[in-house]
Amino acid sequence: MGAYCDEDLPLPVYSAGAPTNEFRFSKHVYDNVHGNINLDPLCLKFIDTEQFQRLRDLKQLGVTNMVYPGAVHSRFEHSLGVYCLAGETVEKLKKFQGAELDIDAYDIQTVRLAGLLHDVGHGPFSHMFEREFLPKVRGDCEWSHESMSVKMIDHIVDTHHIEIDDQMLKRAKDMILASTEFSELRSNAEKRFLYDIVANGRNGIDVDKFDYLVRDSRACGLGCNFQFQRLTETMRVMDNEICYRAKEYRNVHKLFATRADLHRTVYTHPKVKAIELMMVDAMVKANDFLGISSLIDDPSQYWKLDDTIIKTIEIAPNKELAEAREIILRIRRRQLYQFCNEYAVPKDKIDHFKPVTAKDIICSQKHTSLTLKEEDIAVTNVKIDLARGRENPLECIKFFKDYESEEKFVIPEERERVSHLLPTTYQDMIVRVYAKKPELVEAVSEAFENFQMRTYGIKAQVHATPEKKKRRVMM
């Protein structure tokens, strides 16, 4: 992101009860994805806080830049991008259906605010913090970055005495939670369609995905043939729900296919997962001394936690952090956990799939001179889907034929008329196994193969473990 420009533009602040002639200064910033983004005065009050500026120190893709060097963009950039797209989306609805939908400046301000603040509660290293680290140190802790975002927003308002209408703040927070919760309040909201723009729990099409799909693809040097502009130009609200032209069916499918492809080739890349596994181990070993997990209960302390935790561990002289420091040193020297092999769970077994653990692999080891221990093995169960698990996400999306139509419908009821190339299975489950020491690769690989034979009666992995990797020893 560029710095704020010197030129200040007057723009009214929209809040309940505010005089229409109240003007403050807005600013604009240049974004390498969306171009110039105008920042309205109310949102600037949130941006210019230490809690929001923290997002500059959170990489959007966590440790992925250690495999894709260009993936160094931050949650700060992404949040401004979602703010921009959220505002543009609701303004387009106002342009084409404003009178019908009664969209006003108050609604636009609320949606923008939700877009800006939707990730303010994110932890270090992207989703790894809440999905991998916290379950190991807090058990079944019901914590999410969305819920922390809501707490952080309240903390920012209270700490910086930001004047904002209570109802606007509540609606913005509900919009952030709309991807994980579908309360009766939101389902019966007068303008329910506004809650689908930033984080859409109804069908998964939202500006959060629009931004990160394009931004992540560009940062990693990958192409992105999904065109979100076509969807925002042709969308229409029908019965309090955002619907799309039927001719955009394939473009909608590209949205979910692009997401799945990024998960397969970037987010869950075998090397990326190896580094994530090591980072989790380092943070777990450092947790008791640094009290990392204890910070998630208090927004006034949590905002101090970001990706720099790795440097804190790395340079600390304390003997209590020796094991954690050693793991980080291995990452720096590229002495990573060794990927042994993987297999895709047969599609007829996915419904009853139970996550594989290191213990499962140990129990499959045959009698050899080398006895493996659970701490020698790392297992990751990778789920890749089209955003709705084993369900077809397109079955949740409503389409219309043309702008004269009054009827909305679901296309998959007639999917044979659309294409025979659309998928019939919507989720992959991939089991990957790593050896934490190079000299254990052969033993771990053989135990993994034995596990597959015990579980499925066949060796399900696609390729054999390379002999050179099996023979590798620590120098």
CA distance 435 to 438: 7
Q: How many CB atoms lie within 10 A of CB 76?
A: 19
Amino acid letter at 188?
Answer: N
Looking at residue 355, its amino acid is P
Q: Supply the DSSP symbol for 183.
A: -
Q: Cα 61 vs. chain centroid, distance in angstroms?
A: 8
Kindly give, in sequence order, each residue whose CB lies less than 8 Å from that of residue 288, ignoring residues fewer than 6 positions away.
320
253 flagged as catalytic: no
Residues facing residue 378 across a β-bridge: 434
Cα 29 versus chain centre, distance: 24
**Residue with the two structure tokens 């690989």:** 445
Tokens representing residue 304 in the block = 């101090």
Q: d(Cα 347, Cα 429) in Å, to the nearest integer?
A: 8
DSSP string, 286-351: HHHHH-TGGGGG-HHHHTT-STTHHHHHHH---GGGHHHHHHHHHHHTT-PPEEEEEEEPPTTTGG
Please state the φ and ψ torsions of residue 57, each to the nearest 5 degrees: -100, 20
Residues whose CB falls within 8 Å of the CB of residue 45, separated by 6 or more in sequence, listed in order: 160, 162
Is 377 strand, coil or helix?
Answer: strand
Q: What is the CA radius of gyration of the chain?
A: 24
**Separation between Cα atoms, residue 277 and residue 153, nearest integer Å:** 31
Q: Torsion over CA of 186, 188, 193 and 197, rounded to 10 degrees?
A: 10
Pick the catalytic residue from 34, 118, 145, 155.
145
Helices (H), 338-409: 358-362
SS3 410: coil
Task: Output the CA angle 405-409-411, nearest 5 degrees.
Answer: 120
- Which residues are tagged catalytic? 145
